[in-house]
Chain A
Amino acid sequence: MARMKFLCDAERCIECNGCVTACKSEHDIPWGVNRRRVVTLNDGVPGEKSISVACMHCSDAPCMAVCPVDCFYQTSEGIVLHDKDLCIGCGYCFYACPFGAPQFPQDGAFGLRGKMDKCTFCAGGPEADNSEAEYKKYGRNRLAEGKLPACAEMCSTKALLGGDADVISDIYRNRVMKRGKGSEVWGWGTAYGKPDAKPATPPGAKS
């Protein structure tokens, strides 16, 4: 069984916000709500990096644990979805989520929260696949159409990968090998020394 995950390659993301736009148009998301966003780390400083982030569909999801009406469910592919008919807009999932994924359309006075909205991994909600009701509440169900998430498909540099964990981690692993050093994956320099110390196996060499 596939386990769906997102992976964003910080060495590739160029902060074009294409994924954000793709997501918004694919699902016809209302004003003020962005299911995906790009965060630039150390903007303007040499070595700045950008990362696209949305719901990561956590294994032990904090949102699911804290929801007072228990409206979340995890599909057999590991995708974390929720039922907007049950949601009461308390904001607890937003407090708990590490990635700021849950969003709230403002509903009336006092900043009252409406029903929570978040990335569905393009997998819709509890309604019948590709039904009108599902589209209205959760956006398009691309997975039911046999497609992958729109953001990752649209990514111009293929920094953002979305799909079966085994497949996308293989792609990423290959990239790291091809880049040769491997030290750009965080922590490696500290753990394995500076890159000018020659690696045991030269990059690209057949072993």
Chain B
Amino acid sequence: MSRPFLCERLMPVVGILVALVFSPIVHAADAGRAQEQAQRQQTQPGNNAPMWRDVRGGVKQTTQVRGVETNVLMQPSGQSWREVRPPMSLAGGLLIAAALLALFAFYQWRGPIGVHEAGTGKLIKRFSDAERLTHWTVAISVCILAVTGLILSFGKYMLLPIIGYTLFSWLAMFAKNLHNFVAPVFFFMLPVMIVLFVRDNLPGPGDLKWLLTFGGMFSKSGHETPSGRFNMGEKALFWFMVCALGVVLCLSGAVMLFPNFDQGRQIMQSANIVHVISALVMIFAASFHIYLGTVGQRGAYEGMRTGYVDETWAKEHHQLWYDQVKAGHARQHFADDAPDAVRAQVADGLKA
């Protein structure tokens, strides 16, 4: 791919992001053909072509009615938005469906990834309370945002025919309000999550090898490729899902959430498109994370639930990190003071 071509491809994306940030500035670009129209009246009285061209182009004019863009007679971009949104949502929906199918197939073939040796009962405190609180706040809010968002995107086609207009309208209203009020939770916890987790998600030894072998996930008997506290897959999800998509979702969502900042329709249409694409890709990516964090791997869920993991789990899944903990070089330590209830839970999580 040549560089000019790449630039050309990236320009609209950059444009949308810049527009999102500087939305009031775009108004200044509305010039118009007023002078051309005046001149045309001299040479061809009654020929209003320049004026109608302005109307088709959505140029700002004059009106006595107050409000956002009430002075625009016609906006041409609404039609493009209307045409772009359904195929885009459909593509995203198919992507998510494909992910779920692939995970189901993977589960059938591989089953839950377990540990090769029995747990020793020696625990490591893998996640601090702050980390767990942040993780679960973000995780639960993303789940709520995803389900409520999907109701707005696909409910009309998938739920409305089944449950009828009245019930679906009620559900959609509930979903919209829940989406709008959970969004700020996500908005404020996202930076906290980035700050807390960025350190152990920086590139480190073993990343490349993990990536090339895909962590050894596709070999049924084999051992996992050694990794630090977080493996390359987790790091990729952190950078892509949390830092990129999460931030984009917050920004594009906020543009739609607060229509009272006088932003025009074009900016909200772009925000919607950006939001839908990033939301669907986010749900796609999250399904892999949720799979491995729950049914896909023994001991992972209990780790985040309680904050503790068994040393066997650590050795198996994050060997480099385990070595560091053992040598006392990691910020995480062996926890001999873990309560009995937690010990039982962690031991239970590792059982086949």
Which one, B69, B160, B265, contacts A69 given CB within 8 A? Answer: B160
* Given A97-B78, A100-B70, also A41-B44 (CB < 8 A): no
Structural contact, B51 and A184, CB atoms closer than 8 A: no
Inter-chain contact A183/B61, CB cutoff 8 Å: no
B45: A residues at CB distance < 8 A: 183, 195
- Residues of chain A lying within 8 A (CB to CB) of residue B81: 66, 95-96
Hey, which chain A residues are within 8 Å of B79, CB to CB?
62, 96, 98
Interfacial chain B residues near A65, Cβ < 8 Å: 82
Secondary structure call for the A interface: loop
Please determine whether A184 and B48 come into contact, CB atoms closer than 8 angstroms.
Answer: yes
Stretch of A43-51, A147-155, A158-166 contacting B (4+ beta carbons < 8 Å): A43-51
Q: B156, A194: Cβ atoms under 8 Å?
A: no
A38 adjacent to B172 (CB under 8 Å): no
Q: Using known A-B contacts A95-B81, A100-B75, A184-B46, determine if residue A42 contacts B51 with beta carbons closer than 8 Å.
A: yes
B160 touches A70 (CB 8 A): yes
Q: Which of B71, B72, B176 contacts A88 (CB 8 A)?
A: B176
Q: Mark B232-267, 1 if CB is under 8 A from A, else 0.
A: 000000000000000000000000111111000100
Closest chain-B Cβ to A35's Cβ sits at a distance in Å of: 10
CB proximity to B under 8 Å, residues A23-64: 32, 34, 37-43, 45-47, 49, 51, 53, 62
User: What is the CB-to-nearest-CB distance from B138 to chain A, in angstroms, rounded to a whole number?
Assistant: 21
Q: Could you say which residues of chain A place their CB within 8 Å of the CB of B258?
A: 110-111
- Seen from chain B, the residues whose Cβ lies within 8 Å of a Cβ on chain A are 32, 34-35, 37-38, 40-41, 43-49, 51-52, 54-55, 61-65, 67, 69-76, 78-79, 81-82, 85, 152-153, 155-156, 160, 165-166, 168-169, 172-173, 176, 180, 256-261, 265, 268-269, 272
24 A-B residue pairs with CB within 8 Å: A32-B67, A39-B72, A40-B61, A42-B32, A42-B38, A45-B34, A45-B35, A47-B51, A62-B79, A68-B153, A69-B155, A88-B176, A90-B152, A95-B78, A96-B78, A99-B73, A100-B72, A104-B259, A106-B260, A183-B44, A189-B47, A190-B47, A194-B43, A195-B46
- Residues of chain A having any CB pair with chain B under 8 Å: 10, 15, 17, 20, 32, 34, 37-43, 45-47, 49, 51, 53, 62, 65-71, 83, 85-92, 94-100, 104, 106, 110-113, 181, 183-184, 186-190, 194-195
